[in-house]
Amino acid sequence: KAGVTQTPRYLIKTRGQQVTLSCSPISGHRSVSWYQQTPGQGLQFLFEYFSETQRNKGNFPGRFSGRQFSNSRSEMNVSTLELGDSALYLCASSSGGNQPQHFGDGTRLSIL
């Protein structure tokens, strides 16, 4: 079974631009979550989707948004990029409920 796939792996943007990151979950998984990982803040929850519905959202500004498609693939978008948005963005999928989330290898976003 293929794992969680995130594209692109690396991305360089400049302040003020916007970016879209993509995540393909493990086949059959309907829950997709996004996390931001930085050296200073660690792993922080962004949002979770299940069957195209956002069920929870973390404490991030409205510049961070996401969506999930009918095939469970998910995208997250960050608008008006700031230097502090430089981070590793991780996507995780699970079958839902109290089942383990499985992570992709992330998208490394660098803001210049």
Residues at the contact surface with other proteins, assessed by CB under 8 A: 4, 31, 33, 35, 42-45, 48, 50, 55-56, 58, 90, 92, 98, 100-106
Minimum Å gap between C-beta 15 and other proteins is: 26
Give the end-to-end CA distance of the chain in Å, rounded to a whole number: 37
Query: Cβ of residue 35: shortest distance to other proteins, in angstroms?
Result: 8
Cβ proximity to other proteins, 66 vs 104, nearer residue: 104
Q: Which of 41, 46, 21 is nearest to 106 (CA)?
A: 21
Residue 16 CB, shortest distance to other proteins, in Å, is: 28
Q: Distance between CA 57 and CA 109 in Å, rounded?
A: 21
- Rounded Cα distance between 60 and 46, Å, is 7
In this complex, which beta carbon is closest to other proteins, that of residue 43 or of residue 112?
43
- DSSP E strands in 26-70: the ranges are 31-38, 42-50, 53-57, 64-68
The minimum distance between CB 42 and other proteins, in angstroms, equals 5
Kindly report the backbone phi and psi dihedral angles of residue 12, in degrees, each rounded to the nearest multiple of 5, phi listed first: -120, 125
Closer residue to other proteins (CB): 28 or 100: 100
Q: What is the DSSP letter of 25?
A: P
- Nearer to other proteins by Cβ, of 45 and 67: the residue is 45
